[in-house]
Structure formats: structure tokens, C-alpha cells
Amino acid sequence: MLELKDIECRYGKISAVRGLSLEVKEGEFVTLIGANGAGKTTTLKCISGLLPAAKGTITFQGKDISNAPAADILAMGIGHCPEGRRVFPYMSVEENLEMGCYLRKDKDAIHEDMEQLFDRFPVLKERRKQAAGTLSGGEQQMLAISRALMSRPKLVLFDEPSLGLAPNLVDRMFQIVRDIRDQGVTVLMVEQNAYAALELCDHAYVLESGEVTLKGTGSELLENPNVREAYLGT
Amino acid sequence: MTSPGTNRLAMGRFAPFAVLAFFALLPFWMTDQYFLHVLIITGIFIIAAISLNLLLGYTGQLSLGHVAFFGIGSYASALMSIGFDLNVFGWMLVVTPKPVWFCILCGIFVAGLAGWLIGKVSFKIRGAYFVIVTISFAEVMRLVALNWIDLTEGPMALNNIPPLTLWLPFAGETTFWSKVPNYFLVLSIAAICFEIVRRIVVSRVGRAVIALRENEPLAMSVGIDVTRYLLIITVISAAMAGAAGGLYSHYVRIIDPDVFLFIFTVTMVIMVVVGGKGTLWGPIVGGLLFGIMPEALREFAAPEVQWIIYGVAMIIVLIFLPQGIVPAVGSWLQSRRHGSEPPATPEPPGAKGAADPS
């Protein structure tokens, strides 16, 4: 479905990702793990068109999308749920969701999708008129995930969905991501919480200073002594 | 609270008509010509402040040279109405005097074009660069107006600028010599600008730039072509400032390069910030306050003392109502309506904690 070949991304003269190749098959749950600064977020930004690739090609469903504008990539079906500040703080929950489908014109279907998401996350429905900045961290993350789904993506990129959440919420968040995959949306997730990510995913790639150093199924990597030592602390 | 579609707008449904009616009836009992003059000048600056608010309040981009668009609008409009000859690479361009309404439209167009140019060069890299580009632009325009004596008369000023002549129902062909017609003209243009901004804010373009102001990376990730929307808003804002400039030149009927002075930009920024940036009423409240206060103080205080009072008033407002007067009044009204329920607004944008995960 998605294929990256020999991608290089630079911030000025510093290359954050070098010669990276990876593949995501339709219906899969793939994770990228690695330490801070390994180039995980950069890779996602490059896929969604927020950052140009200096070299290499990205193909999505057989089409070359390297260096296409972000809006086009989104319209083709790649949703991105970025890390960090995840919501528009002064907009209401509902308005945040509307922003997620900014490029869509089908009003009725948008409304339906929104109601479905409200069924899945009743807490968002309760607060639909409330400014998103007043939600708790977990609620904001639910909103961010919901917003990414509003564009009806075929593939969603999640960047650190567990970042900054209380431990009990982390499990919940991974379960949500898993549910999304089970409903037929392909998922590419970046995570620092390597153990949880490897347990849930189908395939995983380990990134070290901008390069893929290991790849395999989730369970293979969980057994790998190097991974255990570097990321799982055992 | 600054977002469109929230319940804060409920209070705004009838308020615009009430305010408009109040100001429309004002000249019928307020016959003091001097006070009308103050209101006209204040109104012109409110239009400029409304245009600045569109840019500063809703997109978060600070134009510290906003007076440039005001000045360009006033010079363009004045020159068209007086007529001029210009030697363009050996080819004489002769412009005969045109009707004033047409000149004001030209001023709006030229100011919008200037906004497009400035936006085009500075929005690839936003934020501080935009501030610097706009400051320099205003200063360059002032120097051009000062030194291009063939065209602008430089420090000798453009004078004898004709007032607006319009065909009006009941009155026929009317020249706007006196205060009252000018007052209604400024009032109607201000009302139109208010309505334009109100519609933009709830439109797709408005949504896009508000999203940009709140969270730029996120706005890009939902597929918003940030630069394009910023450019659209800048052109509209500049054109509106140009309209204010045109009104100014045909009301005051003399302009000199001082219309490009930095102090006028500062006045607009103060009006917007004190009134409440990113609110529809902010520039109006701030504009009335800082337009009328100097006149109200004139009898009691010497000019130097006035400036001190002016400054102190601004500091007090910003300490106690950091978001400006309008948001403060709005949340006070809301908390009264809902009793003890906390207002559904996050902390000010400065407090990043509002958006951080807990």
C-alpha cells in the first residue's frame, strides 16, 4: 500500500533520515520504534507531505506521492495525527472534528461520521461545544485521533499517541489504535513505548540515527536480544 | 472564545443593529460639529483597526506597517482625484481628475495589490519576518512619498483634494462638504467592513487562518494551504485599510507623507489589542476609547498629561484584562448567566499548559 524507497530528509544541511526504506501492506499495523532523534517523526512528516524528501520515492497505492502537496496526499487517503499539541485549543470539539475533514464537501456523510465517533467516544459528545483546550490530555488525544479519522483515511499515521498520558490511558489509547486497524484502516504508528507497540503490531521497524537497523514481525523483535536490551530494558 | 460559532456570538445577534441605530441617530441630536469631526476621524481609524484586526487577531500575523496600506490608499485616491502626469520610461501617463467614488475604489485596489505583494514576499517565512517586512515597507513608502516630489509634492503636501460627490436619493447630486454626510459615509463603510470581517471569520477561509493561528503544524496536517489563505486575508485587510485611507484623504482634503508615520500603526495596534484582538467588537471598542479619550481629556489636562493618562489607561487595561476589553466583558456576562459554572474557555494563548497533555 505504502512504500518508501531510499528516503532522505534534511533540516537544512543536517539529514535526519538517510536511505530509509519501508513498506506497509494494506490492513497492516506497522510501528516504527527508536530512541529520541532517530528520525521517526521526520519519516511521518515526509510521508504526509509536511516535509519534502530530499531523495528517494514514496509510493502510495501505486502512485508516486514524493513531494506532492500535503492537501493532495491527505485527499488520497493518508491521515496524519501529529505529536505535540494535538488540538486547536480555542475551537470547540465539534469544530476540531470539522477541521479534520476540511477537504471534504459531503456534509451529510461528515455528520454521520461525526456521530459514529461520538458513539465511540461518548466523552467527546458530552463536550462537543466545549473548547478543546479545556479537555484533559487523554480526551485531547481521543479528539486528535477522531479528527484524523474524519478525513476517512485508508492509512493513518499516528505520532506518539501515548506521549504524556497517564499509564492507564496509554493502554486505552493502544486499544483504540488497534480497533481502528480492525475496522480496516491501515496504521503506521511511531512509538517510544516499544514494548506495547511491538505487542500490538504486525510488523515493526527499528530506527537508529535516521536508518532502519532492524525489521521483522512484532513478536520477532520482542524476542530479539538487541531490541530487548536497547528498548525494553531487559 | 475567539473561535467562530461559539455561543458568545448569541449576544451579537441584535447588538450590531442596536449600535448601528445609535450611531445613525446620533447626528440628529448631537449638533456639536467638532464632536462630529472627532467621531468621523475616530470612525476612519476604526475601519483601519478593523482591517488590522482581521490580520492580527484572526491570523496571528502582526503587520507593524499597516499604515502603509492606509497611506497608499489615501495617496492613490487623492492623486486620481486631482489628476497627475507621470513619465514612465519616456512615455507620458496623463491622468485627468476622476470622480471621487471611483478614486476611492482605485485606492482600495492599489492598497490590496500592495498587500498581495507584501504577502507574496513574506509569507514563505512567517512570523517575525512579516513584522520586519511590513515595518520596512511602511518606512520605504513614507520616504517615497517624501522624495518623489513630482508626483506627491513631498513635504509640501497634496492639497485641494476634492470631497466626495455622490448622487443620493432625495438629495440628488450632493457634495460631501459638511460633517453630517461624511459622518454617515464613514459609518456605513465601517458597518460594511464589520460585516465583511464577520462573514470571513465564519467562512472556510476564516476557519483555515484561525486554525493556523492556533496550531500551525496541525493546520498543515489537515490539508490547509496555509500560505494561500494568509495571502487572501492580507489582500482583504490591506484593501480595507486602503478604503480608510481614501476616506481620510477626501475628508481631511490634504495629505502629506506623515500619513505613513509609525505612530499611526501603533495607534491601530493599541486599539485592536486593548479592545480585544480576534473579536469582532474589539477594534470598535478600542477605537472609540482611544479616539474619544484624548478629546474628552482635552479640557482637563495639558497634552503632556494626556499622553501619560493615555499610557496609564492602556497599561491598566492590559494588566487586568490581558485579552482586551471585549473578551473580558464577554466572559463576565457569561459567568453571570451561568452562575457558578466555569467559563468554557481555556487559558490565554500564552499559557501553553492549556493545550499540553496533563
What's B30-51 look like in SS3? CCCHHHHHHHHHHHHHHHHHHH
R_g (Cα) of chain B, nearest Å = 21
pLDDT band, residue B5 (cuts 50/70/90):
very low
pLDDT digits (tens, 9 = 90+) for B124-162: 777 788 888 999 999 999 999 998 888 888 888 888 888
Q: What is the DSSP string of B269-328?
A: HHHHHHH-TTSSSHHHHHHHHHHHHHHHHTTTS-HHHHHHHHHHHHHHHHHH-TT-HHHH
Between CA A5 and CA B129 the distance in angstroms is 36
A219-231: pLDDT as tens digits = 888 888 887 877 7
- Give the model's pLDDT for residue B350: 40
Q: What is the pLDDT of residue A228?
A: 80
pLDDT at residue number B11: 53
Would you call B168 helix, strand, or coil by DSSP? Answer: strand
Subunit contact B354:A89, Cβ cutoff 8 A: yes
> b/e per residue, B13-40, with b = 16+ CB within 10 A?
eeebeeeeeebeeebeeeeeeeebbbbb
> In Å, how far is B349's CA from the nearest CA of chain A?
9
Residue numbers in A near B354 (CB within 8 A): 89, 133-134
Q: Of A88, A99, A164, which is closest to B357 when you measure between CB atoms?
A: A164
Residue entry with cell 463576565: B332
Q: Which of B99, B61, B356 is nearest to B238 (CA)?
A: B61
Are A34 and A17 in contact by the 8 Å Cβ rule? The answer is no
Check residue B66 and give its pLDDT.
Answer: 92
What number is the average pLDDT over the span B255-275? 89
Q: Which of B214, B347, B357 is opposite residue A91, by nearest beta carbon?
A: B214
Does A74 sit within 8 Å of B217, measured CB to CB?
no
Q: Do A134 and B2 touch (CB under 8 A)?
A: no
As a whole number of angstroms, the distance between CA A212 and CA B244 comes to 59
User: What is the spatial distance between Cα B269 and Cα B196, in angstroms, rounded to a whole number?
Assistant: 20
For residues B70 and B93, the model is more confident at: B70
How confident is the model over A18-42, as a mean pLDDT? 87
Whether B54 contacts B237, CB under 8 Å = yes
Share of chain B above pLDDT 90, in %: 33
pLDDT tens digits, residue range A139-184?
888 899 899 888 889 999 998 888 888 888 888 888 888 888 888 8
Q: Is the pLDDT of residue B53 over 90?
A: yes
In the prediction, which pLDDT does B266 show? 86
Instruction: Name which of A71, A85, A134 is nearest B344 (Cβ-Cβ).
Output: A134
Predicted local confidence at residue B293, as pLDDT? 83
- Measured distance CA(B100)–CA(B81) in Å, rounded: 6
- Within a 10 A sphere around the Cβ of A134, how many other Cβ atoms? 21
Residue A147's H or E segment, with its range, is: helix A137-149
Task: For an interface test with A, give the residue of B58, B201, B213, B215 to mutate (most A CBs within 10 A).
Answer: B215
Confidence of residue B306 (pLDDT cuts 50, 70, 90): confident
pLDDT of residue B70: 95
Q: Which residue of B has its CA nearest to A148?
A: B222
**From A84, A90, A100, residue closest to B222, measured CB to CB:** A100
| pLDDT class of A200 with cuts at 50, 70, 90 | confident
For residues A44 and A42, give the distance between their C-alpha atoms in angstroms, rounded to a whole number.
5
Nearest to B346 among A100, A131, A165 (CB): A131
pLDDT at B186: 93
Give the minimum alpha-carbon distance from A223 to chain B in angstroms, rounded to a whole number. Answer: 33
pLDDT mean across residues, chain B = 84
Q: How many other C-beta atoms are found inside a 10 Å radius of the C-beta of residue A145?
A: 23
Is residue A9 within 8 Å of A53, Cβ to Cβ?
yes
Q: Which of B1, B6, B124, B218 to mutate to test the interface with A (most CBs of A within 10 A)?
A: B218
- Rg value, chain A, Cα: 17
Question: Residue A91's closest CA among B215, B196, B70?
Answer: B215
Statement: residue A234 has pLDDT above 70: no
Which amino acid is located at A22 in the chain?
Answer: L
Q: Closest Cα of chain A to B239: distance in Å?
A: 27
CA A153-A155-A160 angle, to 5 degrees, is: 110
Interface residues on B facing A, Cβ-Cβ cutoff 8 A:
1-7, 204, 207-208, 210-211, 214-215, 217-225, 344-347, 349, 352, 354-358
Q: B343 Cβ partners below 8 Å, 6+ apart? A: B1, B331, B334, B335
Looking at residues A116-121, what average pLDDT do you find?
88
User: Do A92 and B5 lie within an 8 Å CB cutoff?
Assistant: yes
What pLDDT score was predicted for residue B94? 81
Least confident of A62-71, B193-202, B303-312: B303-312
The total of structural domains in chain A comes to: 1
With an 8 Å Cβ cutoff, are A90 and B210 in contact?
Answer: yes
| pLDDT bucket at B339, cuts 50 / 70 / 90 | low
- Provide the domain limits for residue A14: 2-232
Rounded to a whole number, what is the distance in Å from the CA of B313 to chain A's nearest CA?
28
A141: DSSP letter: H
Does position B341 have pLDDT exceeding 80, yes or no?
no
Rounded to whole angstroms, what are the CA distances from B104 to B47, B115, B242, B349? 14, 16, 8, 38
- In chain A, which residue's Cα lies nearest the Cα of B351? A133
Q: Which domains does chain B have, with CATH numbers?
A: 7-341 (1.10.3470)
Angle separating helix axes A137-149 and A93-100, nearest 10 degrees: 30
The answer to whether residue B6 scores a pLDDT higher than 70 is no
Considering Cα of A147, then B219, then B214, then B288, what sign does the dihedral take? negative
Per the listing, cell 503506521 goes with: A188
For an interface test with B, give the residue of A44, A72, A91 to mutate (most B CBs within 10 A): A91
Nearest-Cα residue of chain B relative to residue A99: B222
Cβ neighbours for B155, distance < 8 A, ≥ 6 positions apart: B146, B256, B257
pLDDT value of residue B176: 81
Q: What is the pLDDT of residues B203-262, one digit of tens each?
A: 888 988 999 888 888 888 888 888 889 999 999 999 999 999 999 999 999 998 988 988
Residue A168, phi then psi, degrees to nearest 5: -70, -30
- Residues of chain B found within 8 Å of residue A130, distances taken between Cβ atoms: 344
Residue-wise DSSP of B119-133: HHHHSSS-THHHHHH
Q: B66-70, B191-195, B324-328 — which is least confidently predicted? A: B324-328
Check CB contact of A109 with chain B, cutoff 8 Å: no
Report the pLDDT value the prediction gives residue B47, as an integer from 0 to 100.
Answer: 96
Count residue pairs from A and B with Cβ separation < 8 A: 114
- Confidence at B12, pLDDT banded by 50, 70, 90: low
- Alpha carbon of A201: minimum distance to chain B alpha carbons (Å): 24
pTM of the model: 0.82
Of A85, A95, A163, nearest to B355 by CB-CB distance is A85
Q: Do B6 and A138 touch (CB under 8 A)?
A: no
Q: Kindly list the residues from chain A whose CB atom is less than 8 angstroms away from the CB atom of residue B357.
A: 86, 136-138, 140-141, 163-165
pLDDT score, position A187: 92
**What CATH number does the domain containing A9 carry?**
3.40.50.300
Inter-chain residue contact A91 with B204, CB threshold 8 Å: no
What are the backbone dihedrals phi and psi of residue B166, each rounded to the nearest 5 degrees, phi first? -135, 150
Band of pLDDT at residue B117, cut at 50, 70 and 90: very high
Indicate whether B18 pLDDT > 50: yes
Secondary structure E strands in chain B? 84-88, 91-95, 158-159, 165-168, 172-175, 254-255
Q: How does residue B4 score in pLDDT terms, banded at 50, 70 and 90?
A: very low
Q: Which residue is listed with cell 492613490?
A: B76
Closest approach of chain A CAs to the CA of B41, in angstroms? 34
Q: A52 and chain B: CB distance < 8 Å anywhere?
A: no
Contacts of B6 in chain A (CB under 8 A): 92, 129, 131
CA A9 to chain centre: 18
CB atoms A89 and B221 under 8 Å: no
The answer to whether the CB atoms of A89 and B204 lie below 8 A apart is no
